[in-house]
A = this chain, B = another copy of it.
Amino acid sequence: MKRMEMLKKLATDRGGKMILLVMDGLGGLPGPEGRTELEAAFKPNMDALAKRSELGLLEIVDTGVTPGSGPGHLSLFGYDPLEFSIGRGILEAMGVGALVGAGDICARGNFCTRDGDTIVDRRAGRIATEKSALVVEKLAGSIKEIDGVKVTLYPGKEHRFVVVFSGDGLSEDVSDADPQAEGVPMRLAQASTPLADKMAQVANSFIGKVADVLKGDSPANGCLLRGFSSAPDVPLMPDLYRIKPVAVASYPMYRGLAKLVGMSVVDAGEGLEELFNTVARVYDDYDYFYVHVKYTDSRGEDGDFGGKREVVERVDRLLPRLLDLSPDVLVITGDHSTPSLMSGHSWHPVPFLLSSDYVRRGLSASFGEGECATGSGGRIEAKKLLGLMLAHARRLEKFGA
Contact = CB atoms under 8 A, between A and B. Distances in A.
A62 B400 contact: no
Nearest to A72: B400
B378 A360 contact: no
Contact of A391 (B347, B360, B373, B388): B347
Interface stretch (A147-155, A199-207, A338-346): A338-346
Given A65-B396, A87-B401, A360 B387 contact: no
Interface string A324-357: 0000000000000001011001111100000001
Interface residues of A, number: 67
Contacts of A342: 358
Total copies of this chain within the assembly = 2
A362 to B, nearest CB: 5
Contact of A348 (B65, B67, B360): B360
A369 B66 CA distance: 28
B227 A68 contact: no
A396 B66 CA distance: 8
A64 B387 contact: yes
B30 A91 contact: no
A387 to B, nearest CB: 4
Contacts of A339: 358
A349 B377 CA distance: 10
A102 interface: no
Nearest to A375: B373
Interface of A: 2-3, 6-7, 10, 29-30, 34, 36, 57, 61-71, 81-82, 85-88, 91, 227, 339, 341-342, 345-349, 357-363, 369-370, 373-376, 378-381, 384, 387-392, 396-401
B30 A71 contact: no
A315 B373 CA distance: 29
Contacts of A378: 57, 349, 373, 379
A96 to B, nearest CB: 16
A222 B380 CA distance: 49
Given A68-B401, A88-B401, A82 B384 contact: no
